[in-house]
Structure 1
């Protein structure tokens, strides 16, 4: 299996269908979260909805780069979740995350292995490989938070 295939597999595992590292994934964890749970604050922790938005912000934000465009996202906007006040709004956020995750995985599958060690947009961001690995690690980090928050909400 080439490097790109391994990265695509790892990305899909954390976002959509894997069980290997955490015995769960975003889709599995979020599928049973109600919109009320998603926006419920537990102490000083971020809400599940906010963490979901945050992960999607970065996935959606790097898609244009893989389509030959520019990197337009800014870290300072990565927590600017619009208010979620209904099941429909929560479902729309989830559907966007699944759609963006599938799109990113599909674009990544088309990247030649030789591109992985090229600079991602600008030398200061490191290589494509570093950014893709970072996306996967970032997703696992927040998946852990979501899993814990979900358990805390279920035990209230």
Structure 2
């Protein structure tokens, strides 16, 4: 198996269909909650909707680069979630997240291994590999938050 395929499988594990490390994944978690639960605020924690938007923001931004576009994302905008006011709004965000997750993993799987070692846009950003591994680590970090927030929401009877 090529290195890029191995890394793509790690992405799929956290985002779409894995159970090995976290015993769950984003897809499973996101498809099992309502829009009201997704936007329910617990203390000063991020909402599940905000975390979903946040990870999707980076997936979409990096996908744009993978497809030959510019790096246009900025950390300061990564939590600028548009209002979620209905099930339709929530399903749209989840669907976009799932499509971007699959596309991102597929793009990584198709990368030549040499590409993984190339500089990503600018040396200050490291290599393609560093950025993809960063997405994996970042995704697990926020998946843990999402699961805990979901448990708090359910415990509150929401």
TM-score band (shorter)?
A: over 0.9
> 1:95-145, CA deviations, whole angstroms, 9 ceiling, x for partnerless residues?
000011111112112110011111111100001110000000000000000
User: Quick one: distance in 2 between partners of 1:90 and 1:68?
Assistant: 29
Alignment partner, residue 72 of structure 2: 72
Aligned-pair CA distance for 1:26: 0.1
User: Quick one: distance in 2 between partners of 1:139 and 1:109?
Assistant: 18
Question: Alignment partner of 1:8: what SS?
Answer: helix
Runs of 4 or more, structure 1, over 6 Å off, are none
1:24-39 alignment, distance < 5 Å? 24-39=24-39
Q: How many residues align?
A: 156
| Unaligned ranges ≥5, structure 1 | none
RMSD value, Cα: 0.6
User: Quick one: distance in 1 between partners of 2:6 and 2:55?
Assistant: 20
1:32-47 alignment, distance < 5 Å? 32-47=32-47
Aligned-pair CA distance for 1:21: 0.5
Alignment partner, residue 146 of structure 1: 146
Alignment partner, residue 114 of structure 1: 114
> 1:46-89, CA deviations, whole angstroms, 9 ceiling, x for partnerless residues?
00000000000000011111111211111110000011000000
1:1-150 alignment, distance < 5 Å? 1-150=1-150
62-71 or 48-57: bigger deviation: 62-71
User: Quick one: distance in 1 between partners of 2:80 and 2:65?
Assistant: 21
